Amino acid sequence: MRNDAIPNRRPFTLAAITVRQTASNAVALFGLTSLLAALAYLRTAAPGVFTLDSPELTVGAHSLGIVHAPGYPVFMLVGHLFLKLPLGDVGLRMNLLSALAAAAAAGIITLMVWWLTERRLAGVVAGLAFALCYYVWSMAVIAEVYTFQALLLVGTLALLWQWRHRASFASLALAALLAGLAAANNPSTVLWWPGYLVLAVATDARRTLRLRHFAALCGVLLLGLSALLYLPLRSLAEPAFVYVGSYDAAGQFNAMDLSRLENLVWYLSGRQFSWLVAPYTAAELAREAGRTVGWLWAGFLGVGLPLGLWGLWTLYRRERFLALGLALAALPHTLFFIAYGAPDKETMFLPLFAVWAIFLGAGLAQLQSMLPQQGRPALLALPLALLLVNLSYVDVSDFRAPQENSVSRLVRADPGAVVLAHWGDAGAMHYQQLVNGLRVDVSVINVFFISPEDLNTLIDDSLAEGRAVYATYSSGLPLDRVRLASIGSDFQLTPRPPATNLSVRNPILQQRSKQ
Amino acid sequence: MTGSLGRLARAILVVLVLTVSLALLPYLGLPYQPLEVTAMRLASVLYHDGCPDYDHNGIIEAYDIGQVALRWTLTAANPDPDNDPNTPNYGPEYDLEFDGVIDMLDIMDAAENFGEFCDD
């Protein structure tokens, strides 16, 4: 009696596949997982514009603008089309795009696990575990790029599986197209390519390839990469919304010209955030690696880590290059982001979670084979537990603060006022101005894009001209020259009379003034 | 017989590993916070360069470390406990550990970089 859950046939025969894995079965499995995931996302999605990068990405897609590096041009184009749908307001629509992408990715993971193991239950459980894992679910209820990128990854992996096991050149060509689109969307996704290469080359199907096939593959890859043209073309069109450039001391935003090659290279290479790349010492790097393993462990509620390792081992024994290719699709990307210093870096490991969910599925299939028939539904305990544990963590369906705060800040501002804000707050106000046409007379300054010197000059000159100046934060403002008056959680800046000095109460400033 | 014993041993091992991994969960706790809390905490620091150079003179000196120390015990949940915006308040720029509270770890982070230069 054979206990292993993963079939020991290599490669699968076309006949076996057509008999066992019909298209209707595939549609049903994909549909079931995607539908359940989508229901969870719909129940918990943010009702409008969110904070962090969400407003920026939403305005960027709405106006076909240019967002922060690396620009996500494919996401901008897809988002722009999606926003044409008559579903709620623009902010909600963009949130739903994330949900749709995550639900589709979960469905594809279900299909892949089924193809690999011929276990439908394991496939559905793995797909739902991916969908309901905190790090995925939290990115599926707000406008973000990560679930869209995860969809591109698992879509490519599924097509490569089809290529390996059915020698379908159309699948390989589509995979190359998706790889090109993903790289145009975010160049860091070329870190998935080592895995793609192993999956595409280390298979008997490669013997069917001729020179014309390679030429066609290069063509479709370039076609996908051509989405990068969005950046210089839109830059030349001077869109209403651009988040690459800088404000001058007069508060005018000078957009970087991305039609110039050196600027485009600077932008695509991520140097807009260069300080975030590998800022760690060796000990800190080890700590970050430990944190990442901790996220993976906790993301699947503890049991996903050992089950995924079991699945990886089982796949490796059955089909070494398939396991290796899948692992290499996630590993270089994961290592890069372990060394990345962004405070929200845990959101950047969705490729790891997607590939791990496939390994988890393989492990679940092994577990399923050990259980008696009547005990197998117990596997559903994993997605059920994820649902119960994470629901309260990710439910932002009542979170209207970014929407309400951005409106109230603009509405209460004096005519022609200057509002200084950090990234998420500024983006939400830009959203109200550019999407809803609210208070376009107010100059909203995202202080990330202005130097401290220019910011101080802007504050001084604006106050001297009699313009009202507000800030959504207090830290770092020139308190030696301005006084802050609270307005709700924000502040209005007024010139500080010369006689008053903060150093009277601040011993450190006192010490500095003596020096 | 040997096969049955092997399967039994494997089943015991699987149950043991899964149980231990699961049991660690309440002990270690989940490493994430509600999305709303995470968002509000990160909203203003997402692209802060993390260099504690608050007078923008390009070097981390006693003044900068002092600025973190002045905000010791202040939290994101209650950023202005004396309700006076002109006294030091919690600010995410001073929360170098990004954990919502300015504590000794943040002061140590700043102090460890004493004399270092911040890149442009």
**What confidence tens digit (pLDDT) does each residue in A291-350 have?**
999 999 999 999 999 999 999 999 999 999 999 999 999 999 999 999 998 878 888 999
Tokens of A254: 């000078």
Nearest chain A residue to B85 by CA distance is A484
3-state secondary structure of A452: helix
SS percent in chain B: helix, strand, coil, step 5: 45, 5, 50
Nearest-angstrom CA–CA distance, A349 and A101? 16
pLDDT band at A215 (very low <50, low <70, confident <90, very high): very high
What is the total residue count of chain B? Answer: 120
CB A94 within 8 A of CB A143: yes
Spatial distance between the Cα atoms of A297 and A303, rounded to a whole number of angstroms: 7
Does A98 have pLDDT greater than 50?
Answer: yes
Q: In this structure, are residues A332 and A352 in contact, taking their beta carbons and an 8 Å threshold?
A: no
| A-B contacts (CB, under 8 Å) | 139
Is A448 part of the contact surface with chain B (CB cutoff 8 Å)? yes
Q: Report which of A118, A143, A116, A52 is spatially closest to residue A315, judged by C-alpha positions.
A: A116
Q: Using CA atoms in the order A120, A121, A123, A127, what is the torsion angle rounded to 10 degrees?
A: 140
Q: Tens of pLDDT along A402-452?
A: 999 899 999 999 999 999 998 889 999 999 999 999 999 999 999 989 988
Question: pLDDT tens across A499-509, in order?
Answer: 544 444 555 55
Is A309 in the B-facing interface, judged by CB distances under 8 Å? Answer: no
For residue A425, give the nearest of A489, A487, A472, A475 by alpha carbon.
A472
Separation CA A433–CA A497 (nearest Å):
34
Distances (CA, A) of A146 to A97, A102, A156, A396, A441: 11, 9, 15, 18, 34
- What pLDDT sits at residue A18? 56
pLDDT at A513 over 70: no
The predicted pLDDT at position A68 comes to 94
Which tens digits make up the pLDDT trace of A280-292? 889 889 999 999 9
pLDDT score, position A150 = 98
Return the ∠ at Cα A34 (arms to A383 and A26), rounded to 5°. Answer: 105
**What is the pTM assigned to this prediction?**
0.86
Q: Do B21 and A297 touch (CB under 8 A)?
A: yes
What is the CB neighbour count within 10 angstroms for residue A411? Answer: 11
Please give the C-alpha separations between residue A193 and each of A227, A340, A406, in angstroms, as whole numbers: 18, 19, 41
Residues of chain B with confidence (pLDDT) below 70 = 1-2, 41, 43-50, 56, 77, 85, 119-120
Beta strands in A214-255 (DSSP E): 245-247, 253-255
- Please check the confidence at residue A64 and state whether its pLDDT lies above 90: yes
Proportion of chain A above pLDDT 70, given as a percent:
92
Is B32 in contact with A307 (Cβ distance < 8 A)?
no
Smallest CA–CA separation between B56 and chain A, in Å?
7
- Segment A220-230 mean pLDDT: 98
Query: Helices (H) and strands (E) in chain A — how many of each?
Result: 22, 7
Please indicate whether, in this complex, the C-beta atoms of A425 and B44 are within 8 angstroms of each other: yes
Give the per-residue pLDDT at B50. 66
